[in-house]
Chain A
Amino acid sequence: MDFILQSLVIGLTENAPLVLAAIGFALLYKLTGLINVAYSETITLGAYFGMWLNTTYGLDFYTVLIPAGLLAGVVSLVTYLVLFRPAKRRNVGGLEMIIISFGLSIFLRHALQFVFGYPERFFDVPPPDTIMLFGVGVTSFRLLALASVAVISLLLWLFIQRTSYGLQMRALASDEALAKVSGIRPLAVTMLVWAIAGVAGGMAGAFYGVGTSVSPLLGWRQFLLILMVALVGRNWGLGGVIAVGICTSVALVAMALQFDQALYAQLVLIVIFIVILKVRGSRLAETAKV
């Protein structure tokens, strides 16, 4: 029982940003059908923007969280307008699109070092208090991160499920031609989704960054996990992505507590996700048309 509680508390508080990042990624994937590898750099840049605002202007973390997210959202939107939209208009194939996004990811990851410098950077935040929760010590900071992620996720979910913009997004994702006929402006809605995904990724990055350190590989290290959570969870909609994200977070910590090596936890998760994709892929291949 202790073990389960421990896993739950640590898993949820430590890996809360994963859920947020996965929501943003899945949103973009659902609408555009594109696996945007450069999403990992949206996350990284969120961390860098947060760190930069925090250390340059001496603002505290919660003040910089929103601006950092917004800046990452702007970057995400710009990559759409400057790169992915022209590429789509040139009828670049799906395989090439993935490689382009991979190229962009690599480019941003290294180019940002010329702006922010090569060494690891850190947020300048006061040392957090430790709060006992079900007998597990959790820093006040991580608890707040969990709460913020929960609130942001809920807001996003409400936005998509309850507002007219959300309805337009869902309509566009399921049938572009039909959506156009129904008077939806695809460009506006698509831009909105890229921006929202960027904001979610950027905030997740800021949380990751303040928890540990800010480095060029920050987003890339999380990318595979985010990708897998989004791909496996998307069959059950946004709720599925959140659920799979939470399960993954808890499972990671539970396994890390069981094995002495945290790396094996990741390894086991990768294997599980690949097996799920394989099983599902075989079924898809059978039922596809033509």
Chain B
Amino acid sequence: MVADTVSAVAPARPQIRIQGVVKSYAGRVVVNIDDTVLGASPIEGLIGPNGAGKTTLMRLIMHSTALDRGTISLLPPTGGEVVLSSQSSNRMAHHGVVKSNQVIMDFDRLTVLDSLLLAAAEGTYEQPHRIFSEKTVYRRHKDEIRHYLDFFGFADPTAFALSAGEKKLLDIVRCLLLKPTFLLLDEPTAGLPEDLTDKVMVVVRELAAAGTSVVIVEHDLNVIWNLCDEVLFMAEGSVILRGDPQSIRSHRTVVEKYLGEGHV
């Protein structure tokens, strides 16, 4: 049913289609999705109890974890179809599919500026014979890097990211510098103070307005209710419900399984 609508009308923004995807660890099925399309709305939220398979699903999309079965493909707004699940993980960024990390990930020997220049630098400048291209790369990207540094208030870009919050922000800014057309955010605001959480939400809204599809996993439900146009509820590896935030928020199953009675 979903398949018909997708092939009939070329989507206005990139979508990701997940078909017959199964992933299990040691015999336990963690993700089992029959047919779901992500990215139909500008910002989609993915919620569900712990162990519902949200993070695993995101890893499967990025192909940093191998699928047991099924295909995941990208449907760009220009038409056509790119099968992501048959490509290596470093190809995802080239197709504009980018994910921020749930656990803190950093290059511990690189400074903030290094990290951002690394994310922004094009492959041609990173070849072994291009040993004089640092200035070029810096010139090409310094404005956008400066923009994000100022916006998020990094004190000294030539220093190392020390706190967990700084590293988390750095991870998000790296993703932004990759100019994603499909952005997956795995708990982007966990561990961030409120003012920075708000700033992240501002950036995400801007990005979505400019045509990027955003899927966000978040435990802070205020972020979800405020930000998302559509919410998907996952439990036991499958998407069981999807709808606008209001309807999900008041749905009986969600309340029972996840939110708890007092929450509504």
Contacts and interface: CB of A to CB of B under 8 A. Distances in A.
Chains A and B in contact, CB within 8 Å: yes
B65 interface: yes
Contacts of B66: 286-287
B250 interface: no
A289 interface: yes
Contacts of A287: 65-66
Contacts of B24: none
Contacts, number: 8
B100 to A, nearest CB: 13
B50 interface: no
Interface residues of B, number: 5
Contacts of B59: 289-290
Interface in B95-114: 103
B133 interface: no
Contacts of A289: 59, 65
A290 B66 CA distance: 11
B253 interface: no
Nearest to B105: A290
Contacts of B65: 287, 289
A290 B64 CA distance: 7
A286 B64 CA distance: 7
A286 B66 CA distance: 6
Interface in A262-290: 286-287, 289-290
B105 to A, nearest CB: 8
B82 to A, nearest CB: 19
A142 to B, nearest CB: 46
Contacts of B64: 290
Interface string B67-109: 0000000000000000000000000000000000001000000
A290 B65 CA distance: 7
Contacts of A290: 59, 64, 103
Contacts of A286: 66
B60 to A, nearest CB: 12
A184 B66 CA distance: 36
A289 B59 CA distance: 9
A15 B59 CA distance: 47
A287 B66 CA distance: 5
Nearest to B102: A290
B102 to A, nearest CB: 10
Max chain A Cβ within 10 angstroms of own Cβ: one of B59, B65, B103: B65
A283 to B, nearest CB: 9
A225 to B, nearest CB: 33
A61 to B, nearest CB: 49
Nearest to B89: A286
Interface string B198-222: 0000000000000000000000000
Nearest to A286: B66
Nearest to A287: B66
A290 B103 CA distance: 9
A289 B65 CA distance: 6
A280 to B, nearest CB: 15
Nearest to B88: A286
8 contacts: A286-B66, A287-B65, A287-B66, A289-B59, A289-B65, A290-B59, A290-B64, A290-B103
Interface of B: 59, 64-66, 103
8 A-B pairs with the lowest CB-CB distances in the bound complex, closest first: A286-B66, A287-B66, A289-B65, A290-B64, A287-B65, A290-B103, A290-B59, A289-B59
Given A287-B65, A290-B59, 6 more contacts: A286-B66, A287-B66, A289-B59, A289-B65, A290-B64, A290-B103
